[in-house]
Amino acid sequence: MKVTVPRLVDDPALSISIAPATKKRSRQWLRVLSPVALLLLWQIGCSSGWISSRTLAAPSQVIASFIELTANGSLQHNLLVSLGRVVKGMSLALLVGGSLALLAGLSRTGEYVIDAPMQMLRTLPVLALIPFFIIWFGIGEVPKVALVAVAALFPIYLTLYSGIRGVDPKLVELARIIGLSRGALVRHVILPGALPTALVGVRYSLGISWLILVAAEQVNATSGIGYLMNDARDFMRIDILVVGLLIYALLGLIVDILVRWLERRLLGWRPSFVGTAA
């Protein structure tokens, strides 16, 4: 059944269309059609020899390689190694970036000492640091984790710092009136107030850490998704390269879902979240 809503204004951009929920769901399903069609085209192109196997592997072949890599355990192993590096790097970034932001955000001296150098350092392209990190830390695990940590540190620092400074001064004044101690002020007013902004930084940092890992793992790595892809390149295994790409995309997606979940848990007080929190 089609529901028509009379137009308020004769401008399609201003008109409101209201459709029953079921109708909406069936439309959303239609959105899948276009990607599926693209996949089909890709498969047909490869099968017919129109796309050379030296250019791109067919989806069927990618799936086969995925199953093969999973069966011999190398995918899981390398994924875990990469995951470990991101977790270590992110933890370091959260610890260091968070502490620096707290110091700079809560005290004037801290701001003078910390903020200016941080603002300068953040303009350095992290990838250009790879040679330095190899000279300083060798070619083992340390430079890879350090690279992730440095890259992830800045978004965390910047968002938490600006979040702290952006807390409504009226609420800080109120805390003074009801006689909150400095510790209670930070815990109950400033940190919760800075959290929404800081979480945006965490999300951004997680995205960056995977990005940096791709580059870091191509340098003298013997394990990790980046190594898997590097190895595949050397042997012209385009199918494995595509698997690697897909894994990276999937990881990005999972991380995003995770942070969204975290936001819903931590920011349930926001009016826009009230509906889903119940």
Partner 1 sequence: MNDQTVNVCGLTRRFGNTLALDHVDLAIESGEFVALLGRSGSGKSTLLRTLAGLDAPTAGSVQVPNERMVVFQEPRLLPWKTAAQNVALGLKGSDAKEQARAALVEVGLEHRLDAYPGTLSGGEAQRTALARALVRDPKLLLLDEPFAALDALTRMRMHVLIESLWKRHRLSVLLITHDVDEAILLADRALVIDRGRLVASIAIDLPRPRDLSQPGFFALRKQLLTAIGVTDVELREPAAKEPQAASDGTVAADSIVMA
Residue pair 161/107 in contact (Cβ under 8 Å)? The answer is no
The token pair that represents 138 in the structure block: 């060798």
Q: Which is nearer to partner 1, 161 or 227 (CB)?
A: 161
Q: Is 190 in the site for partner 1 (CB under 8 A)?
A: yes
Residue type, 82: S
Q: Which is nearer to partner 1, 190 or 255 (CB)?
A: 190
Residue pair 206/25 in contact (Cβ under 8 Å)? The answer is no
Q: Is 108 in the site for partner 1 (CB under 8 A)?
A: yes
DSSP annotation string for 32-100: THHHHHHHHHHHHHHHTTSS-TTT---HHHHHHHHHHHHHTTHHHHHHHHHHHHHHHHHHHHHHHHHHH
Residues 23-82 that bind partner 1 (CB under 8 A): none
Q: Which is nearer to partner 1, 4 or 272 (CB)?
A: 272
Q: Which is nearer to partner 1, 25 or 182 (CB)?
A: 182
Measured CA to CA in angstroms, residue 263 lies from 112, 144, 203, 269 at distances of: 31, 28, 10, 10
The interface region with partner 1, picked from 28-36, 87-95, 108-116, 153-161 by CB under 8 A, is 108-116
Interface residue with partner 1 among 19, 56, 92, 189 (CB under 8 A) is 189
The token pair that represents 19 in the structure block: 């459709």
Q: Which is nearer to partner 1, 157 or 210 (CB)?
A: 157
Residue pair 15/7 in contact (Cβ under 8 Å)? The answer is yes
Interface residue with partner 1 among 106, 113, 129, 219 (CB under 8 A) is 106
Q: Least distance (Å) from partner 1 to the CB of residue 167?
A: 6
**Helices and strands (H, E) in the chain, number of each type:** 14, 0
Sketch the per residue contact string, 258 through 277, with partner 1: x for CB under 8 A, - otherwise: ---------x-xxx--x---
- How far apart are alpha carbons 74 and 71 in whole angstroms? 8
Residues 125-184 that bind partner 1 (CB under 8 A): 164-167, 169-180, 182, 184
Q: Is 200 in the site for partner 1 (CB under 8 A)?
A: no
Q: Which is nearer to partner 1, 115 or 217 (CB)?
A: 115
The interface region with partner 1, picked from 45-53, 104-112, 114-122, 236-244 by CB under 8 A, is 104-112
- How far apart are alpha carbons 44 and 41 in whole angstroms? 5
Binding site for partner 1 (CB under 8 A): 105-111, 164-167, 169-180, 182, 184-185, 188-190, 192-193, 195, 267, 269-271, 274
